[in-house]
Structure 1
Amino acid sequence: MQLYDPYCSDIRDEIAVLKDALEPLHAQGQLRSILEIGCGTGDMTRRIADTWPDAKVCALEIDAIQLEKNQLRNRHDNITYLSGPAEAIPFAAQMFDAVLMFKSLHHVPGALLDQALSEIHRVLRPGGVAYFAEPVFAGELNEIIRLFHDEENVRQAAFDALVRASEDSRWDRARETHYRVPVRFLDFDDFERKVMRVTHSDFQLTPERISKVRCAFEPHMTSDGANFVRPMRANTLVRALSREQR
């Protein structure tokens, strides 16, 4: 496994990368239940529900403010939003065909990462897929964000936990994909609202810090807003079958 591929230039849509990982299950008619952990605003949740309309999607979010917003604006019959952390998933064993985490594994406290991965294994059916899409600590956008929120250590810890899991016999067929996704902001106010003022974190935003971030952001502005490319890494693990199932 590789933390970052600096030579990767593939610009891909996140759903396209996810479809590559889940298509074998879907083709076999075994993608009926999906759990997303740390769904945030629910943007990816809605895209997942639209891509696989026959699957039941449960999305967990621990931020009470965001969870309430998601529940109030839910227009998808196949989505249920609930509260719950990765390290204590509120479901019985072997309930899901796929468990997904988009940019959220590194938010799990470091001491609980292995427990979270064990929980994901517990709620997956044998042969089920665990999918983790994590932002890489690199790139111009990352350099701006690190001015008020440096995630280098937590992203490394999340990667290390995935490496440990890939070496665990409970998991099978580890796969890794490096890609890049375009990210656009209308202006600095849009960036501040979406990235700096999220309800799940307090970044201690003093006027001086905001000014420093603005100075780093403004040179990227064009007539079409500020456009960035974020390097990403997707890791897929499959829950191993028992000897009787092989």
Structure 2
Amino acid sequence: MDLQRFKPGPLPIMSDLQLIAERLPVAGGRLLELGCGRALTTRRIAEELPVSEVIATEVDQVQHERNLRISDLPKVRFRLGGVEAIDEADGSIDAVIMLKSLHHVPRHLLRQGLMEIHRVLRPGGIAYFSEPLYAGTFNEIMRLFHDEQAVREAAFEALSTAVEDGLFRLEDEIFFDSISRFQGFEEFEDRILGATHTEFAIDASLYNRIRDRFMEHMGPEGVAEFRNPNRADLLRKP
């Protein structure tokens, strides 16, 4: 696992759902998604892939309460909790998924969290970690009010250490671009600035700077589109 393998420039456009469908044991599988957020990908996994069950956890109490009001996903069970204490039996999960959430885990809990993932995975099970790279125009907007360079580096170092220590075996490391779209600044404000898992210190001046930078990417149809570089690490439990 070496960040030097990443060469700046356009990467193949892929999605986490595509990689999950292709690389994880989804057929009849019992999947655990840690840090499901608004459960948007959770929904697609449950509706589009042949899984038997998805346990979707969220550490943010506000978002978890909203998720509990979702009533049309019979394959999904929502739970409140973090990666450092997973309420599942040893070896009971076929695949663990973390989508842009590992870097939100406090640094002092990363090792404990990875050990918990190892514990709940069945032997041979796969953990899928998808993390944004510290690059791209969207990242430049984000760093105006929420610079994640240090926490993303800490998350990657934790994965590297877990592989070096033999907790997991590196199955693959995939670099790809994903596309994010916003129907105007209002959607960006709702989805990003309005996220309940993090409090941002944004005064009126900074708010205007963020809005101005975002509006530079607004297309003629009123949609802002960003091409975001990502890295997906597939780690297998020995």
Identify the TM-score tier after normalising by the shorter chain: over 0.9
Q: State the SS of the aligned residue for 1:204.
A: coil
Report the CA distance between 1:8 and its aligned residue: 4.7
Could you tell me how far apart the structure 2 residues matched to 1:2 and 1:43 are? Answer: 30
- 2:227 maps to which residue? 229
Q: What TM-score does the superposition give when structure 2 sets the normalisation length?
A: 0.94
The 4+ residue runs of structure 1 with deviation greater than 6 A are none
Q: Residue 124 of structure 1: which of 113, 121, 141 is its match? A: 121
Q: Deviations over 1:63-122 (max 9, x none)?
A: 111111111023111100010101111222111010100000000001111111111000
- 1:141 maps to which residue? 138
The aligned runs of 1:1-246 (5 Å cut-off) are: 1-3=1-3, 4-22=6-24, 25-26=25-26, 31-224=28-221, 225-240=223-238
Farther off after superposition, 35-44 or 8-17: 8-17
Could you tell me how far apart the structure 2 residues matched to 1:204 and 1:112 are? Answer: 25
Q: Report how many aligned residue pairs link the two structures.
A: 235
RMSD: 1.4
Counterparts in 2 of 1:8 and 1:18: CA distance versus 1, 3 Å: farther
Could you tell me how far apart the structure 2 residues matched to 1:193 and 1:76 are? Answer: 24
Q: Any gaps of 5 or more consecutive residues in structure 1? A: 241-246
Q: What amino acid maps onto 1:238 in structure 2?
A: R
Check whether the contact 1:93–1:122 (CA below 8 A) recurs between aligned residues: yes
Could you tell me how far apart the structure 2 residues matched to 1:227 and 1:170 are? Answer: 38
Q: Any gaps of 5 or more consecutive residues in structure 2? A: none
Q: What amino acid maps onto 1:6 in structure 2?
A: P
Q: State the SS of the aligned residue for 2:84.
A: helix
Identical pairs, percent: 42
Q: What amino acid maps onto 1:17 in structure 2?
A: L
Farther off after superposition, 189-198 or 2-11: 2-11
Report the CA distance between 1:166 and its aligned residue: 1.6
Report the CA distance between 1:167 and its aligned residue: 1.5
Farther off after superposition, 4-13 or 38-47: 4-13
Could you tell me how far apart the structure 1 residues matched to 2:51 and 2:145 are? Answer: 41
Q: What TM-score does the superposition give when structure 1 sets the normalisation length?
A: 0.91
Report the CA distance between 1:173 and its aligned residue: 4.0
Report the CA distance between 1:188 and its aligned residue: 1.2
